[in-house]
């Protein structure tokens, strides 16, 4: 077997390689996916080589491996069947079948490769992964247990342990296994992505982002990792970095529909973000100023006085001065002092201009509606346990909503006023709450 010790620099040298061991295969795959032009050029070279093979002046195995790199699994299998029955043919035929999700055929080919001398541990781990993909956990677990002794120092073994734990629903245990795999094999792409994704849905944003960033450094970065990282960057307002991730996807896959649409959204958001912070504060301030004064803890006398004066919202109240309030009939010093004391606790004052109001202080000034009747244990649950989408979860984080109890105190209008929070996320949250027998408040 011949192994290229240095990464290839010319695609044309692919056809001069005597044998394609995994290291050589990965080196050329990195080179092919360096850009969309590289892929196009490699496709052209394969087209020319296909003619040579058809004329009997070429190696069907090389053509098949090239097609496998491009993801053309069906044609790759056709040419593999015409290649001499060697160990590499069986191994890569198994890979092509995996690409087509023909798991039984893949395992059969891998086992034939093992019979011809391929590493038995690697073959068993590939077969175990195929079993997991089919949902045959008992068969996968049997293979993994057979290598409990010789797998302790190999990252792939821990990766399979992690897959099994994840399929059983033990996410914390799965993360632990993936982390062990990464300690032994820091560039294990699959372990890195699965671990990052589990951190992501659990709400461990820093850990998830670090792993996504490591994946982004790979020559052939995981497409889903780049897109997930772009989502993280967009939610943090780091639109330039989000755009870089998406452009990398489109560079290798120009017709990737999801990346193309997301890139347009990011570009639009980047153009609109100039005054986004101040505009967002203004929107929040205006919304909170519309809060009814009936939600404040006032005495019956003070509440009735404000009602008679047609003072309905917090904004109506703050626009008035002490003198203006006292000029109203039946409004005395007692009611005035009560209102002043209440506002002072919230760092507010009568006659305060809107632009001088601190949004955070105003948030504190708004009385929260009472929590709905329900199980205390349910209301105390973390919103991360609702298994919401990344976008919905990040919007709740922005609003400092930590528990289900916090969430049910919100209304639809408040949620929809949050940046990047749309009807889809709203319906998702309402559905999750309905499963718990709860709903958003209707009080505003």
The residues with which 382 forms a beta bridge, in sequence order, are 403
Last residue of a domain, one of 365, 396, 420: 365
CA distance 354 to 99: 60
Q: What tens-digit pLDDT sequence spans the chain (444 residues)? A: 344 445 566 888 999 988 888 889 988 988 888 777 888 899 999 999 999 998 988 899 999 999 999 989 999 999 999 999 999 999 999 999 999 999 999 999 999 999 999 999 999 999 999 999 999 999 999 999 999 998 889 999 999 999 999 999 899 999 999 999 999 998 898 999 999 889 888 888 888 888 888 888 776 767 788 888 888 887 777 888 888 888 888 876 778 888 888 888 777 766 655 444 555 666 667 777 777 776 676 676 777 778 778 887 877 887 778 887 777 777 778 878 888 877 777 777 887 777 666 666 566 555 444 444 445 677 878 888 887 877 778 778 777 788 888 888 888 877 877 767 777 788 888 888 888 888 887 654
Half-sphere exposure at residue 395, Cβ-oriented, CA atoms within 13 angstroms: 22
**Residue 101 maps to a domain:** no
Of 68, 144, 142, 141, the closest CA to residue 106 belongs to: 68
Whole-model pTM: value is 0.58
Residues 294 and 348 in one domain: yes
Last residue of a domain, one of 336, 365, 394: 365
**What pLDDT, on the 0 to 100 scale, is given for residue 260?**
84
**What pLDDT, on the 0 to 100 scale, is given for residue 179?**
93
**Residue 161 maps to a domain:** no
Domain that holds residue 389: 376-435
**Residue 222 maps to a domain:** no
**What pLDDT, on the 0 to 100 scale, is given for residue 2?**
41
Q: What is the CATH number of the domain that holds 295?
A: 1.10.150.20
Residues 328 and 399 in one domain: no
**What pLDDT, on the 0 to 100 scale, is given for residue 443?**
54
Query: Sign of dihedral through CA atoms 209, 211, 216, 222?
Result: negative
Query: Is 205 exposed, middle or buried (CB count within 10 Å of its CB: 0-12, 13-18, 19+)?
Result: middle
Q: Residue 227 belongs to what H/E stretch?
A: helix 223-235
CA distance 187 to 216: 11
**Residue 40 maps to a domain:** no
Domain count, the chain: 2
**What pLDDT, on the 0 to 100 scale, is given for residue 33?**
81
**What pLDDT, on the 0 to 100 scale, is given for residue 51?**
92
Please say whether the beta carbons of 387 and 309 come within 8 A.
no
Query: Is 166 exposed, middle or buried (CB count within 10 Å of its CB: 0-12, 13-18, 19+)?
Result: buried
**What pLDDT, on the 0 to 100 scale, is given for residue 139?**
95
**Residue 22 maps to a domain:** no
**Residue 229 maps to a domain:** no
DSSP 313: B
Residues 294 and 360 in one domain: yes
CA distance 107 to 102: 9
- Provide the b/e sequence for 63-102 (b: ≥16 CB within 10 Å): bbbbbbbbebbebbbebbeebeeebbbbbbbbbbbbbeeb
- For the chain, how big is the Rg over CA atoms in Å? 31
Residues 395 and 329 in one domain: no
Half-sphere exposure at residue 240, Cβ-oriented, CA atoms within 13 angstroms: 0
């Amino acid at each position: 077997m011949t192994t290229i010790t240095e990464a290839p620099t010319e695609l044309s040298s692919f056809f001069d390689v005597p044998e394609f061991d995994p290291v050589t295969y990965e080196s050329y795959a990195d080179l092919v996916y360096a850009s969309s032009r590289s892929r196009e050029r490699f496709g052209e070279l394969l087209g020319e080589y296909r003619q040579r093979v058809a004329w009997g002046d070429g190696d069907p195995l090389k053509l098949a491996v090239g097609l496998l790199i491009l993801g053309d699994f069906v044609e790759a299998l056709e040419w593999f069947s015409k290649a001499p029955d060697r160990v590499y043919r069986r191994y890569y035929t198994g890979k092509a079948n995996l690409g087509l999700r023909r798991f039984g055929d893949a395992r059969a080919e891998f086992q034939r490769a093992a019979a011809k001398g391929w590493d038995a541990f690697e073959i068993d781990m590939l077969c175990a992964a195929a079993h997991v993909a089919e949902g045959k956990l008992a068969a996968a677990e049997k293979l993994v247990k057979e290598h409990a002794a010789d797998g302790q120092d190999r990252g792939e073994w821990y990766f399979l342990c992690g897959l099994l734990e994840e399929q059983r629903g033990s996410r914390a245990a799965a993360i632990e296994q993936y982390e062990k795999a990464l300690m032994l094999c820091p560039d294990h792409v699959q372990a890195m992505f699965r671990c990052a994704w589990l951190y992501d849905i659990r709400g461990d944003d820093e850990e998830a982002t670090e792993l996504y960033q490591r994946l982004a450094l790979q020559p052939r970065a995981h497409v889903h990792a780049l897109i997930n990282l772009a989502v993280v960057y967009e939610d943090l307002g780091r639109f330039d970095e989000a755009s870089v991730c998406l452009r990398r996807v489109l560079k290798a896959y120009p017709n990737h529909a999801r990346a193309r649409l997301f890139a347009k959204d990011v570009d639009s958001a980047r153009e609109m973000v100039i005054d986004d912070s101040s505009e967002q504060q203004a929107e929040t301030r205006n919304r909170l100023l519309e809060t009814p004064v009936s939600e404040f803890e006032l005495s019956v006398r003070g509440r009735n006085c404000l009602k008679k004066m047609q003072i309905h919202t917090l904004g109506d109240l703050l626009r008035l001065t002490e003198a203006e309030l006292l000029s109203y009939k039946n409004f005395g010093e007692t009611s005035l002092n009560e209102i002043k004391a209440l506002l002072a606790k919230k760092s507010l004052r009568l006659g305060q201009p809107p632009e001088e109001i601190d949004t955070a202080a105003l948030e504190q000034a708004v009385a929260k509606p009472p929590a709905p009747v329900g199980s205390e244990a349910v209301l105390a649950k973390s919103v991360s346990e609702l298994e919401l989408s990344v976008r919905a979860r990040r919007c709740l984080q922005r609003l400092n909503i930590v528990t289900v109890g916090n969430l049910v105190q919100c209304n639809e209008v408040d949620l929809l006023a949050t940046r990047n929070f749309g009807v889809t996320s709203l319906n998702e949250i309402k559905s999750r709450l309905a499963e718990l027998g709860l709903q958003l408040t209707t009080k505003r």
